[in-house]
């Protein structure tokens, strides 16, 4: 029989140890005939990513144990490796140089392929493809020098013989991505775009003839196939018959087009594409018979189409969907199951066995609710769920509003134990797909342009009020948390609205002017669309910057930050903490040494989550004195 306890104080089997012990992130699956490869990230090893291979029923780590397979191109990375005929090509995070590892030769050792740069980690690579003759590796390259104000991006060919020869194939555009070769190896296609666009704003799909020999590699007859004029083309891919295909959002949703068709060749209920924050995304593939396999978003949940297996209906999210050499592979996740690698309809890497009561892992309610200006937004609503407890009397649970990052990202439709960490303790959680989120079409995505810090905040506020008015949660105990762009939403919500009882900002933006001046190349002009061109719209930047509206802050704040964050530098968090401290607003600050944008080390993830729980319970007066840790909350007595 369940025990009555105050919501938020329930004991739970979903501990930080469960979140982290044996946890692994799985990404970028590549199938081969009788083999399958993927990258596995491990919080228990400092966030290190290892290249894995399944063959003959056995899973083994391919890269040496000190290797971290990760690229720093665009800072966010992705696309840090490729495999062809049993030969792996990968970037080691330590120096950003490419290695080749021939797994067809027993006890082979990695061979350096890319040249040593003049500046440490000055040559970075992503999105590899191998020429048909095996002599060249085509990749996106990002060159950093001590003299340049921003790095140079270009498409490069790197010799695979270990000579460290590098040839520039095409340059002159601000960004490049997604190089792909036709099956006969004679054509190369890629995506390119210019400042101030992001790759989900306006891109161009280009194609050229590709030729190579032992000592040279070049492109000829370059043409533009599609894109431009507010059309975002992503994920080009050649069909088995050599026809170039791509995803375009020119009719609102990202659907599949071909180079010979003005109309979609595959149109689905929802959206196939996803904003390429990272390289290496694969949302559709061609089966051997030329039919299209695709993953799609619909109303905030994912589905897969064209698959003949009987296992895909177990999953609510999919990524890295690929078909090669007669084999299909993807990563599937469910509402109660973590990531699994599926190869030809079989789970070759099963999710962890969590061994917790199924009631702790409930699926959410998908809600559509009214927001400002007569508009609407979407969210995933998770109710408190723990079979051992029930609320005291008629107590309503506190609510945690999650503001995702990006801001052009989305609340993901799969098990994320950090959400169940809260719901199993008696908190309700709503993960908001505010206006500007992906998966709902270009029109919905663009609603945030010119309105960042306004529409996203309004949608988080209205999600909380909607659930409070519906009677699901306690109106007086509404909380908000978010990281990166979501951290900015948190700060704005507390500066400009009197709705939330407390908030947690993780590496969030406090000063838009400082961000515009101090962020990395990939996002350096992002604010032109989200806020307005700088400095022409300097007044708007200041109006939207929480650091200039300290009078609005009254709710307690927890701020979490990595010391080596290049995307949202630590000064953003430090300035808001210092400002709140000077005004005697309850504030706590944890800065994690060596962490970057997002926490990767198990000990830091554990510390951050446990500190956040303690912070909320102390704000609500629910934590016994003997459970108070060394977390310093300044001015808490002022509540």
Q: Is the pLDDT of residue 639 over 80?
A: no
Q: What is the mean pLDDT of the chain?
A: 96
Q: Is the pLDDT of residue 638 over 90?
A: no
pLDDT, mean of residues 453-465: 98
CA 616/CA 404 separation, integer angstroms: 20
Are 611 and 556 in contact by the 8 Å Cβ rule? The answer is: no
CA 285/CA 245 separation, integer angstroms: 10
Q: Is the pLDDT of residue 4 over 80?
A: yes
- Give the CATH superfamily of 3-15+356-638: Alpha/Beta hydrolase fold, catalytic domain (3.40.50.1820)
Strands (E), 363-498: 365-370, 376-382, 389-391, 399-403, 428-433, 478-483
b or e along 187-223 (b: 16 or more beta carbons within 10 Å of the residue's beta carbon)?
bbbbbbbeeebbbbbbbbbbbbebebeeeebebeeee
DSSP letter for each residue of 514-533: HHHHHS-GGGTTHHHHHT-S
Q: Is the pLDDT of residue 519 over 90?
A: no
CA 560/CA 629 separation, integer angstroms: 16
| pLDDT score recorded for residue 423 | 98
Confidence class for position 23, pLDDT limits 50, 70, 90 = confident
| pLDDT score recorded for residue 507 | 94
463 DSSP assignment: H
CA 395/CA 622 separation, integer angstroms: 14
Confidence class for position 548, pLDDT limits 50, 70, 90 = very high
Taking only the tens place, the pLDDT of each residue in 461-499 is: 999 999 999 999 999 999 999 999 999 999 999 999 999
CA 417/CA 355 separation, integer angstroms: 13
- The kind and range of the H/E element at 158 are strand 152-159
CA 481/CA 502 separation, integer angstroms: 9
| pLDDT score recorded for residue 278 | 97
Q: Is the pLDDT of residue 248 over 80?
A: yes
Which residues are bridge partners to 390 per DSSP? Answer: 4
Are 191 and 177 in contact by the 8 Å Cβ rule? The answer is: yes
CA distances from 534 to 21, 195, 370, 449, 470 (A): 45, 13, 32, 14, 42
Q: Is the pLDDT of residue 163 over 80?
A: yes
CA distances from 346 to 293, 323, 395 (A): 17, 14, 45
- The kind and range of the H/E element at 30 are strand 25-32
Confidence class for position 625, pLDDT limits 50, 70, 90 = confident
User: Can you give the length of the chain in residues?
Assistant: 639
Does pTM top 0.85 for this prediction?
A: yes
φ, ψ of residue 48 to 5 degrees: the values are -60, 140
CA distances from 610 to 4, 42, 431, 616, 629 (A): 23, 20, 20, 10, 10
Question: For the chain, how far is it from start to end, CA to CA, in angstroms?
Answer: 37
| pLDDT score recorded for residue 308 | 83
CA 107/CA 104 separation, integer angstroms: 9
Q: Is the pLDDT of residue 310 over 90?
A: no
- The kind and range of the H/E element at 89 are strand 87-91
| pLDDT score recorded for residue 561 | 96
Q: Is the pLDDT of residue 1 over 80?
A: no
The neighbour count for residue 416, using CB atoms within 10 Å, is 20
Confidence class for position 612, pLDDT limits 50, 70, 90 = very high
| Percent of residues, the chain, with pLDDT higher than 70 | 100
Find where tokens 């706590």 sit.
Answer: 588
Q: Which residue in 508, 447, 452 sits closest to 480, CA to CA?
A: 508
| pLDDT score recorded for residue 597 | 83
b or e along 493-532 (b: 16 or more beta carbons within 10 Å of the residue's beta carbon)?
bbbbbebbbbbbbbbbbbbbbbbbeebbbbbbbbbbbbbb
| pLDDT score recorded for residue 193 | 98
φ, ψ of residue 80 to 5 degrees: the values are -90, 5
CA 7/CA 390 separation, integer angstroms: 8
pLDDT, mean of residues 434-455: 98
477 DSSP assignment: -
Taking only the tens place, the pLDDT of each residue in 177-228 is: 999 999 999 999 999 999 999 999 999 999 999 999 999 999 999 999 999 9
| pLDDT score recorded for residue 565 | 87
The neighbour count for residue 242, using CB atoms within 10 Å, is 11
pLDDT, mean of residues 556-572: 91
286 DSSP assignment: E
| pLDDT score recorded for residue 626 | 85
| Inter-axis angle of helices 485-496 and 455-470, nearest 10 | 70
Are 417 and 19 in contact by the 8 Å Cβ rule? The answer is: yes
CA 400/CA 490 separation, integer angstroms: 11
Tokens at 347, concatenated = 């789970």
Are 89 and 130 in contact by the 8 Å Cβ rule? The answer is: yes
CA 383/CA 471 separation, integer angstroms: 12
| pLDDT score recorded for residue 46 | 87
CA 341/CA 53 separation, integer angstroms: 11
CA 142/CA 609 separation, integer angstroms: 35
Taking only the tens place, the pLDDT of each residue in 55-90 is: 999 999 999 999 999 999 999 999 999 999 999 999
Cα torsion angle, 352, 357, 359, 360, sign: negative
CA 597/CA 77 separation, integer angstroms: 12
CA 332/CA 226 separation, integer angstroms: 31
């Amino acid at each position: 029989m369940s025990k009555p306890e105050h919501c938020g104080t329930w004991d739970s089997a979903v501990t930080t140890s469960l979140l982290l012990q044996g946890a692994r992130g799985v990404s970028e699956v590549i199938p081969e005939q009788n083999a399958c490869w993927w990258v596995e990230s491990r919080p228990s090893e400092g966030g290190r990513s290892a290249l894995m291979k399944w063959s003959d029923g056995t899973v083994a780590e391919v890269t040496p144990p000190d290797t971290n397979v990760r690229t720093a191109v665009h800072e966010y990375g992705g696309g840090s490796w490729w495999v062809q005929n049993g030969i792996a090509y990968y970037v080691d995070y330590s120096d950003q140089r490419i290695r080749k590892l021939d797994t067809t030769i027993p006890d082979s050792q990695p061979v350096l392929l890319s040249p040593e740069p003049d500046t440490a980690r000055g040559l970075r690579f992503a999105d590899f493809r191998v020429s048909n003759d095996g002599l060249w590796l085509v990749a996106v390259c990002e060159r950093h020098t001590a003299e340049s104000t921003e790095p140079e991006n270009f498409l490069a060919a790197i010799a695979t013989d270990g000579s460290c020869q590098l040839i520039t194939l095409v340059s002159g555009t601000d960004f490049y991505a997604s190089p792909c070769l036709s099956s006969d190896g004679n054509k190369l296609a890629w995506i390119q775009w210019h400042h101030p666009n992001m790759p989900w704003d306006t891109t161009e799909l280009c194609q050229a003839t590709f030729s190579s020999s032992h000592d040279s590699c070049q492109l000829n007859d370059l043409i533009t196939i599609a894109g431009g004029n507010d059309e975002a083309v992503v994920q080009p891919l050649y069909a088995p018959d050599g026809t170039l295909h791509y995803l375009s959002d020119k009719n609102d949703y990202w659907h599949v087009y071909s180079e010979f068709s003005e109309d979609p060749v595959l149109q689905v209920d929802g959206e196939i594409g996803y904003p390429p924050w990272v390289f290496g995304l694969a949302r559709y593939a061609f089966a051997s018979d030329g039919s299209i396999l695709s993953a799609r978003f619909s109303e905030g949940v994912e589905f897969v189409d064209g698959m003949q297996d009987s296992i895909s209906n177990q999953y609510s999210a999919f990524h890295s969907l690929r078909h090669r050499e007669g084999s299909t592979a993807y990563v599937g996740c469910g509402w109660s199951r973590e990531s699994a690698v599926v190869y030809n309809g079989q789970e070759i890497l099963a999710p962890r066995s969590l061994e917790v009561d199924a009631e702790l892992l409930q699926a959410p309610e998908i809600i559509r609710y009214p927001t400002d200006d007569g508009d609407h937004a979407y969210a995933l609503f998770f109710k408190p769920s723990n079979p051992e407890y029930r609320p005291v009397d008629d107590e309503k649970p506190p609510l945690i509003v999650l503001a995702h990052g990006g801001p052009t990202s989305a609340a993901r439709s799969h098990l994320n134990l950090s959400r169940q960490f809260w719901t199993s303790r008696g908190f309700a959680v709503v993960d908001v797909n505010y206006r500007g989120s992906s998966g709902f079409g270009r029109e919905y995505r663009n609603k945030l342009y010119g309105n960042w810090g306004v529409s996203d905040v309004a949608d988080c506020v209205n999600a909380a009020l909607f659930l409070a008015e519906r009677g699901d949660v306690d109106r007086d105990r509404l909380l908000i948390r978010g990281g990166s762009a979501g951290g900015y939403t948190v700060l704005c919500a507390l500066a400009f609205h009197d709705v939330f009882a407390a908030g947690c900002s993780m590496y969030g933006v406090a000063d838009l002017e400082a961000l515009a001046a101090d962020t990395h190349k990939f996002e350096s002009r992002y604010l032109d669309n989200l806020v307005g061109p700088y400095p022409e719209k300097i007044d708007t930047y200041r109006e939207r910057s929480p650091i200039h509206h300290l009078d609005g802050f009254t709710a307690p704040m927890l701020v979490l930050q990595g010391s080596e964050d290049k995307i949202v530098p630590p000064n953003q968090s430090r300035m808001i903490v210092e400002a709140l401290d000077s005004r005697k607003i309850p504030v706590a600050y944890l800065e994690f040494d060596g962490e970057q944008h997002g926490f990767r080390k198990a000990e830091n993830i554990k510390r951050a989550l446990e500190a956040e729980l303690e912070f909320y319970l102390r704000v609500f007066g629910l934590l016994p004195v003997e459970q108070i840790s060394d977390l310093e909350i300044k001015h808490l007595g002022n509540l």
